[in-house]
Structure 1
């Protein structure tokens, strides 16, 4: 049977770079809301000799994600899932961000839990924003509702986000959603482990991606605080994803890996004005 690697948000940036690496020994399925937007990426991969195809999927819709999981299973052994689809504060409003980043992660984990087999690995992509957003903002006590009632979870989380001034809600929603991704992946380790499946989250810092380009002006202000004073290259994060998904990391699960060039380690406080 073919080893299948599913990559949400695989049409560009770190998702596409990961497809190139994983495609050396996996059949690649890249996903997005519109197959047309993914066609160029599939063409590039196929020109490099990689077996790949696109599949339409809106991660905020659980039925869409379940169709993706069932389709992938029909293709072979789902050996790896890299859930890289996400929305930044520059791409939507607070509710849209939470639906894609938090609810989308719930849907992806639940759908692929059904079809993944022993030895496979799920990677949920978070963000260093989960570490930089002040902890007092994080409504961690509400996260538990995501396990039993995702709809109730969304209502409670958005009610909390609604307490903040409208102009900062998108940013607050993003920080909370990415903090939640880390929490959700960790709490899912035991469930996935019962099937012999590993699950981790990875929190990238500033990388040279289309999404990163939207935030480049703001992100540049923090580069000088990094131990490695530049944006990350997509091949660097793709290499991390590929290693974590492979057999060499066979005892790695239930943990978040921060890959941010040392920015969080600097102790930077985003609430203070930077010079």
Structure 2
């Protein structure tokens, strides 16, 4: 049986590009809330000779994630999980964003820990927003609750988010949720190491994706601060995901990789109108 790579949010953008690349030597399983939205991706990749399947999965629902993991295991040994599903501030409420981005990561890691093969790797996708959001608003002290009591974690974290004015809550929730993803992947490295498996996070900057298109006007204002003055191509981040998940990166775990064209390195301050 071919080795299996699971890609959440794999129907478009960087997830689809990763499916195309990983599909050269893996059975691919992509998932989204609706299988119908994944049909075009499945048909296109099957026409390219890729062994690919689509599964409906809501990552914020633990039972849904368990069904995804069980399905993946039936298809073969699960050696890679690229958790790219997520919501931006333009896609939902603060609560929805936190449930998908933060709680979804908890569910993916906890569930796939049970089925990941020796030498396997989970990549949790964060965002450069984790670096750009002011650290003072990050409720890091609450993050540890996620390990043993995700429900209490969500209750406490949303109580903190709701202290902010309603008009900025979605943005605050996004920044906190992506910062949490980095923390959760790092603290999970030891657990996965017990199975001779790895977990890490990748924080993309602005990429040419459908989600990126929703934020293009706002994101364009920051391109001038990048060392590489353009949006990233999805093939570039897909190559990074594929390498990190491969045996060639077998000593890489418990770390976040920032892939943003040098924006964070510029020292840009999103709270100032001129960026400085």
Relative to the length of structure 2, the TM-score reads 0.99
Task: Give the equivalent residue in structure 1 for 2:63.
Answer: 63
Task: Give the equivalent residue in structure 2 for 1:154.
Answer: 154
Is 1:246 the counterpart of 2:243 in the alignment? no
Query: How is 1:49-88 mapped onto 2 (pairs within 5 angstroms)?
Result: 49-88=49-88
CA distance in 2, matches of 1:78, 1:24: 16
RMSD: 0.6
| Cα deviations by residue, 1:76-101 (Å, 9 ceiling, x for unpaired) | 10010000000000000100000000
Task: Give the equivalent residue in structure 1 for 2:136.
Answer: 136
Contact 1:10 1:31 (C-alpha < 8 Å) held by counterparts: yes
Contact 2:130 2:178 (C-alpha < 8 Å) held by counterparts: yes
Query: How is 1:225-264 mapped onto 2 (pairs within 5 angstroms)?
Result: 225-264=225-264
CA distance in 1, matches of 2:149, 2:70: 22
Contact 1:221 1:274 (C-alpha < 8 Å) held by counterparts: no
| Cα deviations by residue, 1:124-182 (Å, 9 ceiling, x for unpaired) | 00000000000001000000000000000000000000000000000000000000000
Query: How is 1:190-229 mapped onto 2 (pairs within 5 angstroms)?
Result: 190-229=190-229
How many Å apart are 1:273 and its aligned residue? 0.7
Task: Give the equivalent residue in structure 2 for 1:18.
Answer: 18
How many Å apart are 1:274 and its aligned residue? 2.4
Task: Give the equivalent residue in structure 2 for 1:106.
Answer: 106
Query: How is 1:172-187 mapped onto 2 (pairs within 5 angstroms)?
Result: 172-187=172-187
How many Å apart are 1:74 and its aligned residue? 1.2
How many Å apart are 1:117 and its aligned residue? 1.4
CA distance in 1, matches of 2:75, 2:53: 11
Count of aligned pairs: 275
Contact 2:2 2:25 (C-alpha < 8 Å) held by counterparts: no
Task: Give the equivalent residue in structure 2 for 1:269.
Answer: 269
| Cα deviations by residue, 1:34-93 (Å, 9 ceiling, x for unpaired) | 000001000010011100010010000000001101110111100100000000000001
Specify the SS of the correspondent of 2:114: helix
Contact 2:45 2:52 (C-alpha < 8 Å) held by counterparts: yes
Q: Show structure 2 runs of 5+ residues with no match.
A: none
CA distance in 1, matches of 2:233, 2:92: 25
Specify the SS of the correspondent of 1:86: coil
| Cα deviations by residue, 1:214-256 (Å, 9 ceiling, x for unpaired) | 0000000000000000000000000000000001101000000
Task: Give the equivalent residue in structure 2 for 1:121.
Answer: 121
Task: Give the equivalent residue in structure 2 for 1:29.
Answer: 29
Q: Which runs of 4+ in 1 moved over 2 A?
A: none
CA distance in 1, matches of 2:198, 2:109: 12
Relative to the length of structure 1, the TM-score reads 0.99
